[in-house]
Chains A and B, each alone.
Chain A
Amino acid sequence: MPTFYLDDSEIPFTDGETILEAAMSAGRYIPHLCWRPELEPHSSCRLCTVTINGRPFSSCTQPALKGQKVECDTPALLAMRRAVIQMLFVEGNHHCPCCEKSGACKLQATAYLLGMQDSHFHHRFPVRMRDLSHEGVSLDRDRCIRCEICVRASRALDGKNVFAIHGRGIESNLAVNSPSGLLKGSAISPDDAAVRLCPTGALIAKGRGFESPIGLRAYDREPLSSIELREYQARRAVHD
């Protein structure tokens, strides 16, 4: 099996695998937010950035190549990832203390993983429309990081096409495919993958908030990285 080098580790890969997939298979976690193994890669959050010959690449889209030397956990890349997650926090309105997703939020868990101690940047405090109109699902755009997992999951896994991104740059936002533009009247359902896979508290199934006690929430007892590595490897075992 061909291999490449991730920092000092020799990582085997199969033809067509990305650097991120091969690393996950080998038990090396590269932080990411917009990547999901069941969805096409998106390469938008940039957290999984690595450098090859000094040039940055998103490891979720970059194919692994034999003998390649990939830098992943350098001080510069760790600092870049921390800055990226800090910018995600200040760009929206993320109030972890009262968020239903707290403790099970991938954005929050990634921030802990990357050692984020503060926001560093000035908060933007954007004013965005909250959508509580649906009886089973709530959408809080303040918490959306535009990873488009819901957009892709709704289309590819739920077969519904409920979400899209509208606008450009920092003003881009999540749009809902319904006559009124509200979740009420859309095809969304609380059990949809689009809701379940949201890495933040932007999309939440109503009525289940805070049911998991502190200490027993998803990331309270085990770090995000080991949970995702285990799940990915189990998934690979099934598919292989």
Chain B
Amino acid sequence: MLSRVAAPLETATHPEALRRVVIEPVSRVEGHGKVTLLLDDEGHVRQARLHIAEFRGFETFIQGRPYREVPVLVQRLCGICPVSHHLAAAKAIDVLVGARTLTPTAEKLRRLLHLGQTLQSHALHFFHLASPDLLFGYDSDVASRNIIGVIQAHPTIALQGVKLRKYGQEVIRILSGKRVHGVLAIPGGVNRSLSRDDGESLKKDIDQVVAWSQGAVKTARDLYLADLEKNAAFGSFRSNFVSLIARDGSLELYDGGLRARDHLGHEVFDHLNCDRYLRHIHEEVKSWSYMKFPFIVALGSDEGWYRVGPLARLNNADRIRTPLAESERAVFARLGEGGPVHATMAYHEARMIEMLYAAEAIRELLDDPDCYGSDLVIRGERAFEGVGVVEAPRGTLIHHYEVDETDAIVRANLIVATTNNNNAMNTAVREVAARDLDGRELTEGLLNHIEVAIRAYDPCLSCATHALGAMALDVSLEDASGLLVDRLVRDSDGRVARPGAP
């Protein structure tokens, strides 16, 4: 078993006899989710689940749309990482127009855009969303455990976070025309080059951005090491890891093969052509969540679930191509004592190392003549099925489309980073529930422990919900005074029941 407590706490034997505690909404994450805990009379946790309360249906409602629209349409899945969806879709559409290898200018500008996205998203998460817990403590006063509290108590850190994010957003704006939901990638390439003026304007601040990113790695590391024992154990469990990997085994965010390693660091598959993902990764549907549960086919659904994102990428990478980030990766890797790092809270340091990599790589690209070239688009032999995979800030993002002879989408499959981390987040919730909450009187601070574990994964819940068909529904009818009159529940298999009815 990968996790010590995963299975027993997923589903209680007699839920009707248990007390229900709900954390809703889970705060300081992207999207809307809730956690339900079922406790017995002694306060022991019998069931703990992360539910995704919202519902999206992009896979279905893009059917019939011309493929040209898709990279622009699907990025509306998200307001934080639209660039990742834009690029994953664009890579899949490249295959449809026969552009498997882009021009150097097109590929490098897409990479630059993606690095800007990684930088701003990681800065947003660490400084705005996670730092209140890390700086003030999980149980600290909720009134100041937020970004305003950080601005008041640690103005320098807060300001760096804002400026780092702003820089990443500026990279995105210059290349795609807008800070959010712009357009750079078109089938077979990009729609603009980088002007010399824009390149020079970005170069002015990049050294400062690299320096701040180095500082952010140190901050994340110091916070982790300040209570190593607690942080290493908090919401911790062993898992497999999946990520893209460069041909030379180095960290790769935009293009490469898929690598999966098991909880000991042994390879399950390596340099897997992304076109073949469907043979190796399947998704399981559970009745209580709109989010699916992916797993590695060779290991089965019980043992094959995995983690993605910064921790997985650093565990899977043999090295990082840029020098400052590589030296930080080497230090980080020691936490694993020869194997992968499994601590949930280690995600933060991994994320900051990636932010440093993004800053360094942006600096390199701004000096690359190819980014200022004019050869923007390439076309080749038409195809009718395409897969595009990128490493979104939160992890591996898979877009898969099939089109007909009229260019209309007939089938789409999106496996989003947060979906890949679904089982991991649920396992982290159960770990924290069992370790920190079991048998204790629940307080806001204690419940925040659960949210801290979820936040470490930087989930984007709005991106991650795609189940369609017989949606699981729970409908309650209440009278004007709030008294429950009737309740109907439909599970994901379409079975309808009236709880409590004979």
Contact = CB atoms under 8 A, between A and B. Distances in A.
Interface of A: 97-100, 130, 132-133, 138, 206-207, 209-216
Contacts of A132: 66, 406-408
A214 B182 CA distance: 7
Nearest to A207: B68
Contact of A138 (B66, B182, B183, B184): B66
Given A97-B181, A98-B72, A132-B66, A210 B191 contact: yes
Given A98-B73, A132-B66, A211 B186 contact: yes
A214 B176 CA distance: 7
B76 A213 contact: no
Interface string B308-326: 0000000000000000000
Interface of B: 64-66, 68-69, 72-73, 76, 176-178, 181-184, 186, 191-192, 406-408
Contact of B72 (A97, A130, A207, A211): A97
10 contacts: A97-B73, A97-B76, A132-B66, A209-B186, A210-B191, A213-B184, A213-B192, A214-B177, A214-B178, A216-B192
B376 to A, nearest CB: 9
A238 B381 CA distance: 45
Interchain residue pairs A-B with the least CB separation, the first 3: A214-B177, A98-B73, A132-B406
A183 B457 CA distance: 49
Given A132-B408, A133-B406, A98 B69 contact: yes
**B interface, over-half SS:** loop
A144 to B, nearest CB: 16
A181 to B, nearest CB: 15
Nearest to B186: A210
B68 A100 contact: yes
Given A132-B66, A210-B72, A214-B178, 10 more contacts: A97-B181, A99-B69, A100-B68, A130-B408, A132-B408, A206-B407, A210-B191, A213-B191, A214-B176, A214-B177
A17 to B, nearest CB: 40
B406 A209 contact: no
B183 A213 contact: yes
A213 B177 contact: yes
Contacts of B407: 132, 138, 206
A130 to B, nearest CB: 6
A65 to B, nearest CB: 47
Contacts of B192: 213, 216
B68 A210 contact: yes
